[in-house]
Structure 1
Amino acid sequence: MTTPRLEIRNLLRRFEGRAVVDDVSLSIQPGHVTCLLGPSGCGKSTTLRMIAGVDMQDAGEIHVDGQLICDTVFRVPPERRQIGLMFQDFALFPHLSVGENVAFGLKGAKSEKRARAVELLDRVGLGHFIDEYPHQLSGGEQQRVALARALAPRPKIMLMDEPFSGLDNRLRDGIRDETLALLKEEGASVLLVTHEPEEAMRMADEIALMRDGHIVQRGAPYNIYNAPADKAAVAFFSDINVLRGTVRGALTETPFGVFLAPGVPDGEEVDIVFRPQHVGIDFDRGGRGPNPTEMAGTPARGVVERARFMGSESLVEFRMDFDGGVLKATVPNVFLPRPGTPMWLTVRRDRCFVFPASD
């Protein structure tokens, strides 16, 4: 089995007696991109700071290529860890030229350092800016300079803390793709911190979903999205609809038909969670809807409350007859039924998640 490029074991960090990172373990293989994904304040950046060596853990170990670099007694200084850092503010030196920024911290002859700066700046399309200064560059260009500077010492590991958050949306996708391509070319293992699920899905080989100081789920983006650990994990990636039901004989009766709830004791409540894109919509036919099917179950009637075109899809909100609650559905392209229109909704059985009931 391949030795992980980076491995952290049971990291713990407390502030004022509160554990902000609590027993976090994670490994990254050589050349892989792992995203530490979670809401603000969940401990992502603190984990990154401990790996970089700018903050000390209260317990746990950090290993690079199987070698211990830090525990609570032994500590390799940050500058000797072969770890590169990129932060959201870029942190370029305003008094140094672009080339000098990229070469900063490199060892060797001046000509060798400039040659490395030229190589990397050419690869990010900024070779002609080598003698300019950071204030003369746009935000996207400064981000690419910061990337080149972080890669210049050929780090084994690249730590990136929300590096694209300061860029506008249209620029961001292109910069992310360019960054990912260059990181792959350099062979660096990457740990990227982000609170944006779309960014994690776009960039990661593996996602580690973090909440309240813990990693609650790890896996490939497809698996995290399609086999979430709990209701909160589903909701982190998209809007959700929730039906609550009571289990009887491993089954739960709902207005959309019966759902399986294997292993749940009788009398327990469960949440049946599904995304708006997995809601089917059909027209009302004189007070009747489509026939029930094994895949879609029983249709339930609702009345359109609001419909909005979102660009690539339409979002329709229904006030449901059975409980007066609102249920959301998304439809590709343009679909804007008038408010007050009765329609029938179905829910795909293979796209529903059943979890113990929670607030």
Structure 2
Amino acid sequence: MPPASETAASALLDTPHRLEVTGLTRAFAARAVVSDVSLQVAAGQVTCLLGPSGCGKSTTLRMIAGVETPDNGRIQIDGHDVFGPSANLPPEARGVGLMFQDFALFPHLTVAGNVAFGLAGDKAAKMRRVDELLEKVNLSGFGVKHPHELSGGEQQRVALARALAPRPRVMLMDEPFSGLDNRLRDGIRDATLAVLKAEGAAVLLVTHEPEEAMRMADEIALMRDGRIVQRGAPYNVYNAPVDRAAAAFFSDINVIRGISKGALTETPFGAFLTPGHLDGAEVDIVIRPQHLKIDFDRAGRGPYPTMSEGTPARGTVLRARYLGHASLVEFRMDFDGSVLTASVPGVFLPKADTPLWLMIRRDRCYVFPAC
């Protein structure tokens, strides 16, 4: 059952859309970069466009921002066309805020000057908004400093404050944390998310990092080859991948290939239910390393089969590595010489050539057509 946070996310997705994109398409030199992309983002919602480099996610963001012109499609903000058959508003008229990998702060302006840049109104009103945002991003008192006097994390927070200063209805963020030290990212991402939620903008965040998307998003839109192949709450996208490639994008996977016959596929780990696949069709049974169970060898015998974990199969350890939070153990399987990987919480470092037995949790397996 999904956690409470996912239930709340589902409720959020039922609210009216602040940003709605329909059938967005863009080609360069006859090569489709974005193909028929549609998505919706509500006020206060964070949606992550997630995918590998070159899949079209940044191009999608630029089209929504108005710095790239679509070949086809429609973009609406609060129900009004900003791009469509009869509209193509410039970026400054769309009510969007932009944050890119390069924070692009003005080096000759102070922090306060950067945040105030583009704000309308009298000086007093501008400074009230600047002070309000600097407090929200924990930079009170930094207004008189210049960008070169700040750390990377501080510059990122200034860029966020500047983008939010005009109170944009939609916030577009393209890999905004990619230039930060790994040790800083989690804290800065959490602080950024808190500010974005407080401001109530609809947020579309582009990233190629699944962990970042899982950490920040109410909804993930997984892109591949210019198309959105799966959308949903992080829990659902991770635990119900649409295909083998979607499962592999979020984590390492093990793949066991078999032949479906009578809605069953026989493997060295026992039979797997494979309904919906034709007799004689090759199928891939996919399982993540953390869902393999390891047991000890007892003079050539392993544990007894169970309904939930099937038949054990023996392998020998190729190598084991400690990753800080878990141990990763690679096995050469006796039945066909294939390599399977298991992840074990804590420290578990068996020596190479140690025989051990593996079992597979049936409820954590995915079955896809072989690819």
User: Into which bin does the TM-score normalised by the smaller protein fall?
Assistant: over 0.9
Give ranges in structure 2 of 5+ residues lacking alignment. Answer: 1-13
Query: Which stretch has the larger CA shift, 81-90 or 110-119?
Result: 110-119
Q: Which portions of structure 1, spanning 4 or more consecutive aligned residues, are displaced by more than 6 angstroms?
A: none
- Alignment of 1:61 onto 2:61: no
> 2:303, 2:42 → 1: CA distance?
50
Aligned counterpart, 1:343: 356
Q: Secondary structure at the match of 2:301?
A: coil
- Alignment of 1:26 onto 2:29: no
Kept in 2, the 8 Å contact 1:312–1:333? The answer is yes
Measured against aligned partners, the alpha-carbon deviations of 1:249-308 in whole angstroms (never above 9, x if no partner) come to: 010000000001101110000000000000000000010000000000000000001000
| One-letter amino acid of the counterpart of residue 232, structure 2 | G
| One-letter amino acid of the counterpart of residue 189, structure 2 | R
> 2:261, 2:164 → 1: CA distance?
58
> 2:257, 2:208 → 1: CA distance?
28
Which of 38, 46, 51 is equivalent to 1:38? Answer: 51
> 1:60, 1:201 → 2: CA distance?
28
- Alignment of 1:147 onto 2:160: yes
- Alignment of 1:254 onto 2:267: yes
TM-score, normalization by structure 2: 0.96
Q: Secondary structure at the match of 1:113?
A: helix
- Alignment of 1:51 onto 2:26: no
Aligned counterpart, 2:128: 115
> 2:94, 2:44 → 1: CA distance?
17
| One-letter amino acid of the counterpart of residue 282, structure 2 | E
Q: How far 1:72 sits from its partner (Å)?
A: 4.9
Kept in 2, the 8 Å contact 1:3–1:66? The answer is no
Q: How far 1:73 sits from its partner (Å)?
A: 4.3
Which of 323, 343, 347 is equivalent to 1:310? Answer: 323
- Alignment of 1:106 onto 2:119: yes
- Alignment of 1:265 onto 2:292: no
Aligned counterpart, 1:126: 139
Q: Secondary structure at the match of 2:368?
A: strand
Which of 211, 217, 224 is equivalent to 1:204? Answer: 217
| One-letter amino acid of the counterpart of residue 144, structure 2 | D
- Alignment of 1:218 onto 2:231: yes
Q: Secondary structure at the match of 2:92?
A: helix
Measured against aligned partners, the alpha-carbon deviations of 1:163-185 in whole angstroms (never above 9, x if no partner) come to: 00000111000000000000111
Q: Secondary structure at the match of 2:246?
A: helix
TM-score, normalization by structure 1: 0.99
Measured against aligned partners, the alpha-carbon deviations of 1:81-121 in whole angstroms (never above 9, x if no partner) come to: 11100011101000111000000000011121122111101
Q: Secondary structure at the match of 2:88?
A: coil
- The count of corresponding residues between Structure 1 and Structure 2 is 358
> 2:112, 2:344 → 1: CA distance?
49
Aligned counterpart, 1:186: 199
| One-letter amino acid of the counterpart of residue 326, structure 2 | E
Aligned counterpart, 1:275: 288
- Alignment of 1:159 onto 2:172: yes
Trace 1:87-102 onto structure 2 (pairs within 5 A): 87-102=100-115
Q: Secondary structure at the match of 2:213?
A: helix
Measured against aligned partners, the alpha-carbon deviations of 1:335-354 in whole angstroms (never above 9, x if no partner) come to: 00010100000000000000
**Matched-pair identity in %:** 71
Q: How far 1:2 sits from its partner (Å)?
A: 3.9
Kept in 2, the 8 Å contact 1:88–1:163? The answer is yes
Aligned counterpart, 2:334: 321
Measured against aligned partners, the alpha-carbon deviations of 1:288-331 in whole angstroms (never above 9, x if no partner) come to: 00000000000000000100000000000000001101100000
> 1:343, 1:34 → 2: CA distance?
43
> 2:280, 2:38 → 1: CA distance?
37
Kept in 2, the 8 Å contact 1:34–1:207? The answer is yes
Measured against aligned partners, the alpha-carbon deviations of 1:61-86 in whole angstroms (never above 9, x if no partner) come to: 00011111112542122101111000
| One-letter amino acid of the counterpart of residue 181, structure 1 | A
> 2:349, 2:140 → 1: CA distance?
49
Give ranges in structure 1 of 5+ residues lacking alignment. Answer: none
Q: How far 1:5 sits from its partner (Å)?
A: 0.4
Aligned counterpart, 2:6: none
Q: How far 1:3 sits from its partner (Å)?
A: 2.7
Q: How far 1:135 sits from its partner (Å)?
A: 0.5
